[in-house]
A and B are shown apart, each in its own frame.
Chain A
């Protein structure tokens, strides 16, 4: 009897955990897109008013942003500082690939960000600002989509996880 209850508890906890993980993906994505937008805003400021060299600007931004975004910028900076010979574009690409595990961004978001990498640090201020603004507007659109998806899916996955667990228990009890 006790063992049965214990097993039931484990099943409920596991399935609701899975549900919460999937819901977390939907919850995190708009937040991370917003973080990226504010980071790009900061980068614009650094480029216009500070004319800061890219690695330095990136490390400053990394200190001011939240978790996955800050590790991304930190990553780009470290690649630029450590492995001599990488261009900003390549470092940006590598860091984006590393970002894959810990972020909830999807393929389109990453594609948008990776295009930006091509233009950073190789042309004059105006050109870079233009590309930063363009990327920001794309990200804004993605954020709206993500927000809509979150409203639709976050709650559902939470319920779905718990209820599925309860259902499995009822079926095999």
Chain B
């Protein structure tokens, strides 16, 4: 379990929020939405392994096989 991932996600969040604001300012709402969506997907891809691990450990803890 490393803290690096949290920082990475935080950085990504900051960058995407700035990008979103810039795109909105120049009147490109669609692209802004797409970037936000892409950001969510990227973060999800990063986190999904950890979530899977969490489920696994919950399963083993309560012996739900």
Contacts and interface: CB of A to CB of B under 8 A. Distances in A.
Say whether A associates with B.
Answer: yes
Contacts of B18: 159, 163
A167 interface: yes
Nearest to A166: B15
A63 interface: no
B8 to A, nearest CB: 6
Contacts, number: 33
A173 interface: yes
Q: Interface residues of B toward A: which range?
A: 10 to 19
Given A170-B8, A171-B42, A159 B27 contact: no
Given A155-B26, A171-B12, 19 more contacts: A152-B26, A152-B27, A153-B26, A155-B22, A155-B25, A156-B22, A156-B23, A159-B19, A159-B22, A160-B19, A163-B18, A163-B22, A166-B11, A167-B12, A167-B15, A170-B11, A170-B12, A170-B15, A173-B8
Nearest 7 A/B pairs, CB to CB: A156-B26, A159-B22, A152-B26, A170-B11, A163-B19, A167-B15, A163-B15
